[in-house]
Amino acid sequence: MIWLTWRQFRVAAGATAAALVVLTVALALTGPGLASGYSAGITACTRDGDCARFFDRFFDDYQTPFLAVTVIVLILPALLGLFWGAPLVSRELEAGTHLLVWSQSITRARWLAVKLTVVGGAAVAAAGVCSLVVTWWSAPLDKSAAPGFTLMDPLVFGARGVVPMAYAAFAFVLGVTTGLIVRRTLPAMALTLAVFAAVQIVMPLTVRPHLLPPVASSFALGPENVDAFNKSSDEEFPQVILDWAIPGHTGAWVLSSRLTDPSGRVAGGDGAPVTVRVSMTSGPCAPSQQAQDPGRGFDACIAEINRLGYRQRATYQPFERFWPFQWIETGIYVLLTAGLAGLCFRWIRGRLS
């Protein structure tokens, strides 16, 4: 049975392996240069004492390939579910060949078990290899990533570490299940894509923030967590916009970042501008002061707003939870995968002819 599974699967396996080899070679050729550029930059910036600017520049330089490889890891599980999972059984049902193979001296449960193990194992391995080389290659970039692109942020989290393997296993078995139930390859592929995409969107939006209770805390305002400071001519007071960042917690996944006023009430935030009642006629925020030294003036004005009692109230998942989250999410997907596989076996025993 293993032979037959491999015989039917070898073309798809070969094509995917070739694509992975191309990716690995490309990353292996560029990876060392990226790493040495990073370490040279770090040495230089520690001497100058301004590593923030180096991080910005370094990440900007490589943002396009960084996003490209990240997207590859993100969509690979969907492709595996679509092209390996969905046709696995539905193509046999469409061609009637299931009746040929099921009338050999082998139970259909064993037939399905071997197919799931061999092809599903290959899907997990493919996603694992892809995630491994991308995680290795992008390590310097992950260390210097801008807010929104750090390891804990949804876009990057799903493309690093072990979760891509769990996604691949889930997508693959999801494809097999829809193929079994729908019995036609193309509708099964469409359904697989729709369901998998929905799960991948719902997971980071609603489930992942609560895998562990988020940390909630207040932080003093400073250049790290204040993005902008504006004053329009027809308003008496200026507005500030908070950044999705937390002072002293680089790389945290910020779930909310809001401004509290001196009485401790939430005044607004989460990306929206908030009015602060700071004097614009005198003091550090006055335009006359700002004009003297824009760079230093901004910091001084923020310090003045902080002195008045405005704070950042943030909930976040600290960067240290990256690996706990990876394992918890892997566990969730493994359970989903096992549940779907169980459904497949029940279905193939009872519902199919």
Partner 1 sequence: MSPVLQARDLAKKYGKRWALRDCTIDIPAGHVVGLVGPNGAGKTTLLKLAAGQLTPTSGTITVLGGRPVGDPAQLARIGFVAQDTPVYAGLSVADHLRLGARLNPGWDATLARERVERLGLDPRHRAGKLSGGQRAQLALTLGLAKRPELLILDEPVAALDPLARREFLQGLMEAVAEHELSVVLSSHLVSDLERTCDYLIVLVGSHVRVAGEVEELLATHHRLTGPRRDPDRLPSDQHVVSASHTDRQSTLIVRTDAPIHDPAWRVSQVTLEDLVLAYMEAPAPTHLRPALEVQR
Phi–psi pair at 37, nearest 5 degrees? -60, -40
274 is written with which tokens? 């908030």
Smallest separation, CB 102 to partner 1 (Å): 6
226 is written with which tokens? 């204040």
Closer to partner 1 by CB, 107 or 288: give it.
Answer: 107
CA–CA distance, 315 with 278 (Å, rounded to integer): 26
Paired with 317 in beta bridges are 253
Closer to partner 1 by CB, 112 or 122: give it.
Answer: 112
- Using CB under 8 A, pick the residue from 30, 36, 104, 217 that binds partner 1: 104
Smallest separation, CB 98 to partner 1 (Å): 8
Query: Per rule CB under 8 A, is residue 97 in the interface with partner 1?
Result: yes
Smallest separation, CB 97 to partner 1 (Å): 5
Q: Contact at 8 Å (CB) between 41 and 147?
A: no
Candidate segments 102-110, 141-149, 172-180, 282-290, binder of partner 1 by CB under 8 A: 102-110
- Using CB under 8 A, pick the residue from 33, 49, 96, 213 that binds partner 1: 96
Closer to partner 1 by CB, 5 or 70: give it.
Answer: 5
Per DSSP, 215 falls in state E
Q: Contact at 8 Å (CB) between 159 and 73?
A: yes
DSSP per position, 147-180: TTSSTTSHHHHTTSTTHHHHHHHHHHHHHHHHHH
Closest CA to 260 of 318, 217, 303: 217
Query: Per rule CB under 8 A, is residue 207 in the interface with partner 1?
Result: no
CB atoms within 10 A of CB 84: 23
- Using CB under 8 A, pick the residue from 64, 103, 206, 233 that binds partner 1: 103
List the x/- string, 1-20, binding to partner 1 by CB under 8 A: x-xx--xx------------
Q: What is the largest CA-CA distance in the chain?
A: 91
Closer to partner 1 by CB, 103 or 292: give it.
Answer: 103
Smallest separation, CB 120 to partner 1 (Å): 20
Candidate segments 100-108, 133-141, 202-210, 331-339, binder of partner 1 by CB under 8 A: 100-108
- Using CB under 8 A, pick the residue from 105, 263, 281, 282 that binds partner 1: 105
Q: Contact at 8 Å (CB) between 239 and 276?
A: yes
CA–CA distance, 153 with 325 (Å, rounded to integer): 12
CB atoms within 10 A of CB 175: 34
Candidate segments 51-59, 104-112, 190-198, 330-338, binder of partner 1 by CB under 8 A: 104-112
Candidate segments 90-98, 156-164, 176-184, 282-290, binder of partner 1 by CB under 8 A: 90-98
Q: Contact at 8 Å (CB) between 140 and 38?
A: yes
Smallest separation, CB 116 to partner 1 (Å): 17
Helix (H) or strand (E) holding 240: strand 239-242
Paired with 275 in beta bridges are 239
Residue bearing tokens 């988020």: 214
Closer to partner 1 by CB, 113 or 267: give it.
Answer: 113
Closer to partner 1 by CB, 47 or 351: give it.
Answer: 351
Candidate segments 105-113, 133-141, 255-263, 286-294, binder of partner 1 by CB under 8 A: 105-113
Closer to partner 1 by CB, 1 or 181: give it.
Answer: 1
For residues 106-165, which are near partner 1 according to CB under 8 A? Answer: 106-110
Buried b (16+ CB within 10 A) or exposed e, 297-312: bbeebbebbbeeebbb
Query: Per rule CB under 8 A, is residue 205 in the interface with partner 1?
Result: no
Candidate segments 27-35, 92-100, 158-166, 180-188, binder of partner 1 by CB under 8 A: 92-100
Residue bearing tokens 């990057």: 156
Q: Which residues bind partner 1 (CB under 8 A)?
A: 1, 3-4, 7-8, 95-97, 99-110, 349-350, 353
